[in-house]
Structure 1
Amino acid sequence: MTVPTLPPRLSLFDLPLDPVTLDHALDTLGGWMFRDARTPHTVVTLNPEFIVQCQSQPDFVAAIQAADLVTADGVGIVWAARQLLHQDVPRAPGYDLVKGLMERHRGDLKVFMLGSKPGVAELAAQNAVRDYGIQVAGTHHGYFDLPEDQRVAELVQGSGAHLLLTAMGARRQETFNQYWRQVMGVPVMIGCGGVLDVLAGSAQLAPDWTRRMGVEWIWRVAGDRKRWGRAPRLFQFTQMVQAEKRRPR
């Protein structure tokens, strides 16, 4: 069986966007992990905050533009694609990608979990073994500075992982994966934000109804004061979309 072909890419604010369903994304990632395992691939789950940050962070732009798969993480991206590109783009959120890969491949899958606070990746790995039967290729916290990047990348390199889950926050995780992709050599590397915290049980997954509607970010921002500072970015994104829509063609 060959790796599924991706549909033509879209461009949203000069960033790539692959209009794939969750199942298509999972089929593609499975192919990369087990049938094209010698080639490293990076995955970005695009959300409105990423687009706002990219207005002032060229290294973040470069990492997203170089990614092999860029999925729509939230309803904001779906809405923007409909407003500006007149296309309906399916959602393939980061948590659903990670869970789907572990459910599909279980004991055949070797996962390296990198990120979050010390101890979180280890607990997430233990829970993933219990719930999905995966193999743990390695774990490491995300609290290290740039001078340590090479050491961590080489640790991942020697792990034999099929899948790297990098949870170090927007921009840091994507730029790390892109810069060190050839050194690490992992078939699939996903910047996955708070997914490790959810797997570890130290953060709560948004309720099903918010996830079905694609508005889980509202639930997260409203329920966590640490996230309140992110709300202005979401408002700024809405303004950006409206301004782009009014711009003469």
Structure 2
Amino acid sequence: MTRPQPTAQSHPAGPSSPAERLTLFDLPLDVIDLEGTLARLGGWMFRAPRAPHTVVTLNPEYIVQTRNRPDLVAAVQEADLVTADGIGIVWAARQLHGREVPRAPGYDIVKGLMARHGAELRVFFLGARPGVAEQAAQNAARDYGIGVAGVHHGYFDLPEDRRVAELVGASGAHLVLTGMGGGRQETFNQYWRQVLGAPVIIGCGGVIDVFAGTADLAPTWTRKLGVEFLWRVGLDRKRWNRAPRLAQFVRMVRAERKRR
């Protein structure tokens, strides 16, 4: 089953608009650090009246996927905030724009919002295998005191999208975490943003698994260097098929730099 591509929506500029936005392969990238990201999202979450905002943490895999995914291109282009998730994006910005772009990875964003807002924050955990989101919610409530707006696994097909989106929309969540795999979560978030209704909707990949304890967070030294992706690929056979995308991304950046 296919669904129509998301229609373009306009997001009015205002005080919350990023100060600077670069472009990488037709995709936006906001020049904003983690602290600035937390402040911006905190403002969105508790502003009245409520308005939905989507957040994308951009990595090289997404850029490679967009070469034949117009729906993903639209989802990223229409996102309200696009941060640099990994060192590959930082490197690409340096090569193509001569700019140092700070990182704001998904895990750090989610953890930072929970630590900063605690009990005033209601979070919906949407993603991972059945039972994992429940465990992640329990752990987050215990460790950060957040309110759990709801939970739902990420293993559902397109015909169920509306039902799940309406479930989230009825929860009154300030923050929705969608962990359904890169590409799927971003297109879901953008297409259903008005139904989801939450002030902040962020595709967070395996972050729900990390909070649940079913996946390990990369060591601190790899995260400081921005090479946690390489650490994960090296240890997890299931991720080995993703390594060629990273090589393709490097070739894309080098070709674009040469063209310029």
TM-score (norm 2): 0.93
CA distance in 1, matches of 2:84, 2:19: 14
Q: 1:174–1:191: 8 Å Cα contact kept in structure 2?
A: yes
- Do structure 1's residue 31 and structure 2's residue 18 form an aligned pair? no
**Deviations 1:223-248 (Å, cap 9, x if unpaired)?**
1000000000000000000000100x
**Counterpart pick for 2:249 among 237, 240, 243:** 237
Residues 36-91 of structure 1: CA distance to partner in whole angstroms, max 9, x if unpaired? 55110000000000000000100000000000000000000000000001100000
**Equivalent-residue separation in structure 2 for 1:77 and 1:175 (angstroms):** 20
User: Which secondary structure state, in structure 2, belongs to the residue aligned with residue 54 of structure 1?
Assistant: helix
Is it true that 1:106 corresponds to 2:118 in the alignment?
yes
Which amino acid counterpart does residue 97 of structure 2 have in structure 1? L
Name the residue aligned to 1:184.
Answer: 196
Alpha-carbon distance in 2 for matches of 1:225, 1:3: 45
Query: What is the aligned counterpart of 1:60 among 49, 63, 72?
Result: 72
2:31 is aligned to 19
The root-mean-square deviation of aligned C-alpha atoms, in Å, is: 1.0
DSSP 3-state at the match of 2:163: helix
3-state secondary structure, aligned to 2:67: coil
The size of the alignment, in residue pairs, is 247
Q: Which of the residues 119, 128, 139 maps onto 2:140?
A: 128
Farther off after superposition, 233-242 or 32-41: 32-41
1:45 to 57, 60, 76: 57
d(CA) in 2 for partners of 1:132, 1:6: 28
1:139 partner SS: strand
Task: Report the residue type matching 1:54 in the other structure.
Answer: T
Question: Any idea what the Cα deviations from partners look like across 1:149-172, whole Å, max 9, x if unmatched?
Answer: 000000001001000000000111
1:152 to 157, 164, 167: 164
Q: Distance in 1 between matches of 2:204 and 2:155?
A: 16
Q: What pairs with 1:77-116 in structure 2 (closer than 5 Å)?
A: 77-116=89-128
Query: For residue 137 of structure 1, what is the aligned residue in structure 2?
Result: 149
The one-letter code sitting in structure 1 at the alignment partner of 2:243 is: A
TM-score, reference length from structure 1: 0.97
* Unaligned runs of at least 5 residues, structure 1: none
Runs of 4 or more above 3 Å deviation:
2-5
Shift of residue 201, structure 1, vs aligned partner: 0.2
CA distance change for structure 1 residues 215 and 36 in 2, over 3 Å: closer, same or farther?
farther
Identity of aligned residues (%): 70
Contact 1:106 1:134 in 2 (8 A): yes
